[in-house]
Amino acid sequence: MVTSELSNHHHHHHNTINSPMGKPNSRSKTSSIFLSDGCLFLGGAFSTLILIWGFSSFTTFPKDTLNLEHLSQTDAASPRAPDLTFDPPDKTFFDDPQMGYTLDKKVRNWDEKRAEWLKLHPSFSDGAKERVLMITGSQPEPCRNPIGDHLLLRFFKNKVDYCRLHGYDILYNNLLLDPKMFAYWAKYPVLRAAMMAHPEAEWIWWVDSDALFTDMEFKLPLERYKGHNLVVHGWPHLIHEKRSWTGLNAGVFLIRNCQWSLDLMDSWASMGPQTPNYEKWGKTLRSTFKDKFFPESDDQTGLAYLIAIEKEKWADRIYLENEYYFQGYWKEIVGTFQNISERYKEMEEGVRRLRRRHAEKVSESYGEIREEYLKDAGIGQGNWRRPFITHFTGCQPCSGKYNAMYSADDCWNGMHKALNFADNQVLRNYGFLRPDLLLNSVSPVPFDYPHPWHHHHDDDHHHPR
Ligand code: MN
């Protein structure tokens, strides 16, 4: 893909550091996403209330039947769905000829401009602070690896699944919007354009094409980041003291759609290949971060530079996340899938609520129920919580090249296992499971799976093995 395929030395992981999974310290309870979708197929004034009622009663399962007439009376209190058909004639930044989508068009007062747009589009105000747009992408040309495009499709499918489950929008880009900004630099023109195209989105979430969600239930703990504008996986001491270019990973990050971020991207992109200072920056970055072994200026070391050297200007608003796998090194993760699957199955054998069939649309609430049973999953190496994002750093699915420290089988088997591990969590809502993470055959899931008694009734229940 654009970001890592064109460079084999991007996103190296620091092996000596545990990157433990932590419990998200808050889970957003906004329900507007569900409500908006619910309205579409239930219809009528009471539909949103049925869903609200449903949400608040997951743990109680009341026996009373619904009284729809009664419920409809409080409908006015329910959040509105974004109105996709309404764009008033009032002038916004979109009507300003000085404004542009490209990085060279300097933006001022973006926070005010966004706020004005939101004011003119009030149906977007519910949940505006938690609205996330995911962006990913790959190169403009077909992959050289014969199965590269297939792998990219599956990596993308995984992100689409995750976004559908959590009500996020997703954008895929496979063009160099600025032809000079190649490789890992290609994401910045996209981010810049997307921020303007999506004033309704508070956060833009870049996820590399070689990274995938291996916990489809986990949600970003956005509450934790409310005082920050950029979230990236990293470790402060490795950046500030050790001056290591792998003190953070720029393959996955969350950036707030605000003026600060536009300013940061200006500084960040000023180290890129589209500028006359590209070579000079290569030297500067290499002399600052001694373990950087290639001469070209890259975005990951560039960000480390801004954090370490332009500390006063940026570091306060950058959250270096290392309490859970905001992104995790695949090498330390893929060997744990088997054990994790078994632990989750045991958990579900013991907890009827977690085995309950449900509509995919309400699956987020089951993730919340599960939190209670993940308290002793542990943090640190050897924990058995599903890792949130697994990043195939150094494997390059599209080009087929891979870092010499791995074998081809490590990379491809690792990817298939991770993709299937994640896909099993999605398939479950459709009544199927892959019994073997390296095979594509599926088994139907019996009712109440994995009820412990089913072990003795395999003949009756087509129990996946
Ligand atoms: Mn990557």
Q: Is the peptide bond before 450 cis (omega within 30 degrees of 0)?
A: yes
217 CA → ligand 1 middle, Å: 22
Residue 107's closest CA among 260, 273, 283?
Answer: 260
Residues 201, 129: Cα–Cα separation, whole Å: 8
393 CA → ligand 1 middle, Å: 5
Contact between residue 245 and residue 304 where contact means Cβ atoms under 8 Å apart: yes
Residues 309, 316: Cα–Cα separation, whole Å: 13
Can you give the pLDDT at residue 126?
94
28 CA → ligand 1 middle, Å: 28
245 CA → ligand 1 middle, Å: 15
Instruction: Look up residue 390 and give its two tokens.
Output: 């697994």
- What's the gap between Cα 197 and its chain centre? 19
226 CA → ligand 1 middle, Å: 26
Contact between residue 340 and residue 386 where contact means Cβ atoms under 8 Å apart: yes
332 CA → ligand 1 middle, Å: 16
Instruction: Look up residue 294 and give its two tokens.
Output: 């290639």
Angle at 366 between CA 362 and CA 370, to 5 degrees: 165
Residues 361, 211: Cα–Cα separation, whole Å: 24
Per the prediction, the chain carries an average pLDDT of 85
Contacts of 271 (CB under 8 A, 6+ apart): 277, 278, 281, 285, 297, 299, 302, 305
β-strands 203-207, 132-137 pairing: parallel
Can you give the pLDDT at residue 47?
40
412 CA → ligand 1 middle, Å: 15
Residue 102's closest CA among 204, 192, 198?
Answer: 192
211 CA → ligand 1 middle, Å: 6
The amino acid that residue 303 corresponds to is L
Q: Considering Cα of 266, then 271, then 273, then 275, what sign does the dihedral take?
A: positive
Residues 306, 314: Cα–Cα separation, whole Å: 7
Can you give the pLDDT at residue 77?
54
206 CA → ligand 1 middle, Å: 11
181 CA → ligand 1 middle, Å: 17
From start to end of 51-179, where are the E strands? 132-137, 169-173
Can you give the pLDDT at residue 373?
95
> pLDDT of 330-388, one tens digit each?
999 999 999 999 999 999 999 999 999 999 999 999 999 999 999 888 765 568 999 99
> pLDDT of 1-50, one tens digit each?
334 443 334 444 433 333 333 333 333 333 333 333 333 333 334 444 43
Domains of the chain plus CATH, in order, are: 93-321 (3.90.550)
The amino acid that residue 127 corresponds to is G
Residue 96's closest CA among 104, 105, 87?
Answer: 105
- Burial class from Cβ neighbours inside 10 Å (0-12, 13-18, 19+) for residue 227 reads exposed
11 CA → ligand 1 middle, Å: 6
pLDDT averaged per 10 residues, the chain (length 465):
40 36 37 33 39 39 46 54 97 98 97 98 96 97 97 98 98 97 96 98 98 98 98 98 98 98 98 98 98 97 98 97 96 95 96 97 96 82 88 96 92 97 98 96 96 59 46
Residues 358, 405: Cα–Cα separation, whole Å: 44
Instruction: Look up residue 58 and give its two tokens.
Output: 């997951």
3-state secondary structure at position 126? coil
Q: Where do the H-state alpha helices sit in 29-109?
A: 32-42, 47-56, 68-72
Can you give the pLDDT at residue 26?
38
Can you give the pLDDT at residue 73?
45
CA distances 164 to 19, 26, 281, Å, are 27, 21, 40
Residue 138's closest CA among 3, 321, 296?
Answer: 3
Residues 402, 408: Cα–Cα separation, whole Å: 7
Can you give the pLDDT at residue 423?
98
